[in-house]
Amino acid sequence: MDQQINNDTKDSAFYSDAADYWATVPATEDGMLGGLSKISDVDLKGSQRFLNTIYQLINCPGKERALDGGAGIGRVTSGFLMKNFPVVDLVEQDKAFIEEAQKRLAPTNHRGQFFNLGLQHFNPEEKVYDIMWIQWVLGHLTDEHLVSFLKRCLTGLKSNGLIVIKENLTSSGEVEMDHQDSSVTRPRSLVVDLIHQAGLRIVKEQKQQRFPADLYEVRMFALEPESRKS
């Protein structure tokens, strides 16, 4: 019991520290990317190329509705997902960010819902998403909450739907903690292990190209339920 209380206390601080940090970050592309807005175009083009490969799979997803998990100000939604899906829902815990996303998307043809909460609290509607795109946010979840979140995502997928995660990975083989924004960067081996714990398997994987050499390696993983027949 004492160990559980300690873990709960640590988890609470992990999330509250992150929320406090992001509350100080401007609701701009530079803010979302840690001062590296110059990589945004390369990032979005890399995501589009990966999505294109997904639609070359035999049992590819539909193209009706997507989720942007950890959406920030809607950079990924407006710059990429809306070009592929007529309906895109956004999940973002920071109120200022999601309000900025609503403002930016209001003059566009955006259709979709806005969910102002952290992914650790998000429960998707059942069987509605063709693609659930989760980018640069899973480092803000504990291992336990990451697995439980991915398990909940399974219920939100349509019959051929896929979850895509795009994340930084360490090259050291160790988990690296960023105390400034209260996040972790995991090695690929741990990410893959957590994916399997959630009952998912990798059907496509690709490294993001053309990022500055001094940044973490970034990889994209397309995931389907292990129970799904190939």
Please name each of the domains of the chain with its CATH number: 2-225 (3.40.50.150)
pLDDT truncated to tens, each residue of the chain (230 aa)?
343 334 555 788 999 999 999 999 999 999 999 999 999 999 999 999 999 999 999 899 999 999 999 999 999 999 999 999 999 999 999 999 999 999 999 999 999 999 999 999 999 999 999 999 999 999 999 999 999 999 999 999 999 999 999 999 999 999 999 999 999 999 999 999 999 999 999 999 999 999 999 999 999 999 999 998 65
Measure the CA–CA gap between 157 and 53, rounded to whole angstroms. 19
Tell me if 77 sits within 8 A of 110, measured CB to CB.
yes
DSSP state of 154: H
> Which contacts qualify for 8-16: CB closer than 8 Å, 24 or more apart?
11/142, 11/145, 13/182, 14/142, 14/182, 15/118, 15/120, 15/140, 15/182
Residue 92, classed as helix, strand or coil, is: coil
Give this prediction's pTM.
0.95
Please enumerate, by residue number, every residue annotated as part of a binding site: 70, 75, 119-120, 135
User: Which has the closest alpha carbon to 223: 50, 82, 72?
Assistant: 50
Distance of CA 36 to the CA centre of its chain: 18
Q: How many C-beta atoms lie closer than 10 Å to residue 49's C-beta?
A: 13
Measure the CA–CA gap between 40 and 160, rounded to whole angstroms. 29
Residue 160, classed as helix, strand or coil, is: strand
User: Which has the closest alpha carbon to 145: 176, 120, 118, 177?
Assistant: 120
Please enumerate, by residue number, every residue annotated as part of a binding site for S-adenosyl-L-methionine: 70, 75, 119-120, 135
